[in-house]
Amino acid sequence: MGDLLDRRLLFVTGKGGVGKTTISAGLAMLAAARGKRTLVCEVDAKGDLASSFEAPPTRFDESQVAPNLWAMSMDSEASLRQYLSLQLRLPRAAGIGLVARMFDFVASAAPGVREIVTVGKLCWEVRERHYDLVVVDAVASGHIVGQLAAPQAINSLVQVGLVRQQTGWMLDILSDPARTGALIVSTPEEMPVTETIELVGRLRSETTVDLAGVVVNRVLPELFGTREEQAFEALSGGEATAFLSRAMGGDAVPLLDAARLMVRTRRSRAEHLERLRDALGGPAGAVVPLLYVPYLFLRSHGMRSTRQVAAALAAELES
């Protein structure tokens, strides 16, 4: 599992809201702390990444947010503009704005055009060795396959032209498990688990990108072992609860109820976790690494939560 951070390009994906941005930020923070020059890129720019570092809004041009750590947000139009000015040596100014807008328009119909520009920029950063690691806070499960399969899609649609020539080296990078991997974030709930299992299948059958692992985020703590569980049952109701209430000068029932709520919720989620493990287990050798990140009971989201996620990931990578 230690090799995760030795890759060059990691796409972090998963269902909406499961914690892609949080995990990307934590992972990038961990890599940076271990001395890797790291770039983290928010593809679906909503500004959540910047808030993970308590930094000003990210832009297409990267900015440093911590030692060894830079952040940017993807902008397919800006990316295309950069690409055109590099490839065609066109001046950045005249005409390129309209060109890029029209491309964006064409891209709404032609599969792969917008994606190739996004993936292209990320691969380019890897190829040029600007960074040791590029962590991509990628699009959600519904769109990631289209993005990662863009080079093949373009290959089959476009016969000639610069874009076609570009797909070769991108595929080299994307298909190399030593350099590139996808990390799926899930939570132990029905829909995220179902989507994760489906996505694992699609990544394998429709893209050439290696599945580096699955992060199970927001795992609730296990309150009690078997013996504690028995003591807890004995404490609930009757004389024991009355004793507790008296000793504390107030009703103890809500405290017991809250524990029961946690135990029950965790238990109902365990079933989904089980399903995930079963689906990922597969034949020996094909086992996908699972990393667990606990639910963080914090008041707000920022540097502190990012550090805690980094620490949790570090512990998982060691084991």
Partner 1 sequence: MTATVADGRALEALVASREILVVCGPGGVGKTSVAASIAAMAACHEGGRVLVLTVDPARRLAQALGLASASGRAQRVPPEAFAEAGAAPHGELWAEMLDTKQSWDRLVRRHAPDPHTARRILDNPLYQNISGRFVQSHDYIAVERLHELHSEGNYDLIVVDTPPTRNAVDFLLAPQRMAEFFSSRLLRLLTVPYRSRFVDVAAKPFYYVADRVLGSQFLEDIAEFFILFQTLSDGFVARAREVERLLSDRRTSFLVVSTLETVPVREAEAFMAMLPAKRLQLGGVVLNKVLPSYLMQPHLGERAERLCDEAAVLAARMCADGGPMADHDPVIVERVLAELGANFNNIAVVARREAGQRTELARHAAIMASVPELDDDVHDLAGVLRLGRHVWSGGAQ
Ligand X SMILES: Nc1ncnc2c1ncn2[C@@H]1O[C@H](COP(=O)(O)OP(=O)(O)OP(=O)(O)O)[C@@H](O)[C@H]1O
Residue 52 C-beta: closest distance to ligand X, Å: 7
Residue 256 as a binder of partner 1 (CB under 8 A): the answer is yes
Report helix, strand or coil for 210: coil
Residue closer to partner 1 by CB (options 16, 281) is 16
Binding mask 262-301 for partner 1 (x = CB under 8 A): x-xx--x----------------------------xxx-x
> Contact between 21 and Mg ion (CB under 5 A)?
yes
Under 8 Å between Cβ of 213 and 10: no
- Per-position x/- string for 9-48, each x denoting binding to partner 1 as judged by CB under 8 A, each - no binding: ------xxx--------------------------x---x
CA angle 306, 309, 311 (to 5 degrees): 110
- Please list every residue from 38 through 57 that binds Mg ion, using CB under 5 A: 48
From partner 1, ligand X, Mg ion, none, which one binds at residue 22 (CB under 5 to 8 Å depending on kind)? ligand X
For the chain, the farthest-separated pair of C-alpha atoms sits apart, in whole angstroms, at: 83
Q: Closer to ligand X at the Cβ: 37 or 260?
A: 260
Q: Which DSSP symbol is given to 66?
A: E
Structure tokens at 171: 């595929």
User: How far is it, in rounded angstroms, from Cα 240 to Cα 228?
Assistant: 15
- 246: number of Cβ within 10 Å: 10
Closest distance of CB 276 from ligand X, Å:
15
Closest CA to 40 of 183, 148, 164: 183
Reduced to 3 states (helix: H, G, I; strand: E, B; else coil), residue 119 is helix
Q: Which amino acid, 266?
A: R
**For partner 1, which residue of 25, 29, 49, 96 counts as binding (CB under 8 A)?**
96
Q: Which residues contact 105 (CB under 8 A, 6 or more apart)?
A: none
Indicate whether 228 belongs to the interface with partner 1 (CB under 8 A): yes
The single residue among 1, 86, 178, 191 that binds partner 1, judged by CB under 8 A, is 191
Q: Which is nearer to Mg ion, 72 or 252 (CB)?
A: 72
Q: Which window, 24-32, 101-109, 283-291, 302-310, contacts partner 1 (CB under 8 A)?
A: 101-109
Phi, psi dihedral angles at 61 (to 5 degrees): -80, 125
Q: Pick the closer one to ligand X by CB: 111 or 294.
A: 294
- Rounded (to 5) percent helix, strand, coil in the chain: 55, 15, 30
Among ligand X, partner 1, Mg ion, none, the one that 232 touches (CB under a kind-dependent 5 to 8 A) is partner 1
Supply the minimum distance, in Å, between the C-beta of residue 252 and partner 1.
Answer: 7
CB nearer to Mg ion: give 21 or 76: 21
Q: What is the distance in angstroms between the CA of the first residue and the CA of the last residue of the chain?
A: 8
Check residue 101 for interaction with partner 1 (CB under 8 A).
yes
State the burial class of residue 69 (Cβ atoms within 10 Å of its Cβ: 0-12, 13-18, 19+).
Answer: buried
**What residues line the site for Mg ion (CB under 5 A)?**
20-21, 48
